[in-house]
Amino acid sequence: MTVIQATILGALQGVTEFLPISSSGHLVLAQKMMHVPGSSLSFDVFLHFGTLLAVLFAFRRDISTLLTKPRDRLLRLLLVSTLPTVAIGLVFERTIELVFHSGATLGIEFVITGLLLLYVEAAVVPGRLQARDISYRRAFWIGMAQGAAILPALSRSGLTLCASLGAGVERQEAVRYSFLLSVPIILGATVLELKNFGPFAWSASLPLLCGMIASALTGYAAIRYLLRFIKARSLRPFGYYVIALGLLVIADQWLTHRFF
């Protein structure tokens, strides 16, 4: 993989990890379009580490507060939301790996993500709850939504946003909860990948570092953008975008076969 390809993929990972349009789906699609083989384990770890740095920096005060108050109710809610995601990932790990490599369901999953975003904007009455005020049952279902997003083009941030808004959480608080919820998931995925590292993987090459830096910088920018965007505007543009993208992917899968 070249430095330019790694930088493009890193930037794409950073932007799409936090916008409700699916980072993994875009990476699979970009690799197909750029004719880049499936990314290596070390490259995946570096990209995830970059986005982890972005969210840790953006929410450093919130995370510091949670770490110094281990009995905080918000921390317990985040734990409840994390558990179903972990369980789903462990049970379906092998199946998900096969789906990722094939990209067979990519178009359908993009469309589902878009329809969910449009449905929430059309049907859900704006809530006023702070994240710490939701019930543990609702926190569990937000975690189930995040677990469903283990499929490549189901957006993690999109599904957790939809579930949080459906639970009556205020819009900016829903974004904040979604991003804080990403910390244990990204951290856990990174640690799991690190355990398979060989000694050679630590001698990071220039493409790996470029991908990591790009994902960190664009990830931070995406977080700040979405926090401002959702305060006054709806998620519909993201919904229309991923539906259109999904239909294009389906058309290629069924008709042209240029990338799939």
Half-sphere exposure of 156 (CA within 13 A, CB side): 27
The listed range with the strongest mean pLDDT (57-61, 67-71, 194-198, 205-209) is: 57-61
**What type of residue sits at position 3?**
V
Residues 8-37 pLDDT 10s: 999 999 999 999 999 888 988 888 888 877
Domain that holds residue 149: 3-256
Number of C-beta neighbours around residue 46 at 10 A: 28
Between 20 and 103, name the one with better pLDDT. Answer: 20
Secondary structure (DSSP) of the chain: --HHHHHHHHHHHHHHHHTTT-HHHHHHHHHHHHTPPPPPHHHHHHHHHHHHHHHHHHTHHHHHHHHH-TT-HHHHHHHHHHHHHHHHHHHSHHHHHHHHHH-TTHHHHHHHHHHHHHHHHHHPPPP-B-GGGS-HHHHHHHHHHHHHTTSTTS-HHHHHHHHHHHTTB-HHHHHHHHHHHHHHHHHHHHHHHHTT--GGGGS--HHHHHHHHHHHHHHHHHHHHHHHHHHHS-SHHHHHHHHHHHHHHHHIIIII-S--
| Least confident interval from 52-61, 82-91, 212-221, 236-245 | 82-91
pLDDT of residue 59 exceeding 80, the answer is: yes
Q: Identify the pLDDT of residue 58.
A: 94
Residue with tokens 């770890």: 45
Take residue 33 and report the two structure tokens written for it: 């379009």
Residues 141-157 pLDDT 10s: 999 999 998 888 899 99
Domain count, the chain: 1
8 Å CB contact between 114 and 243: yes
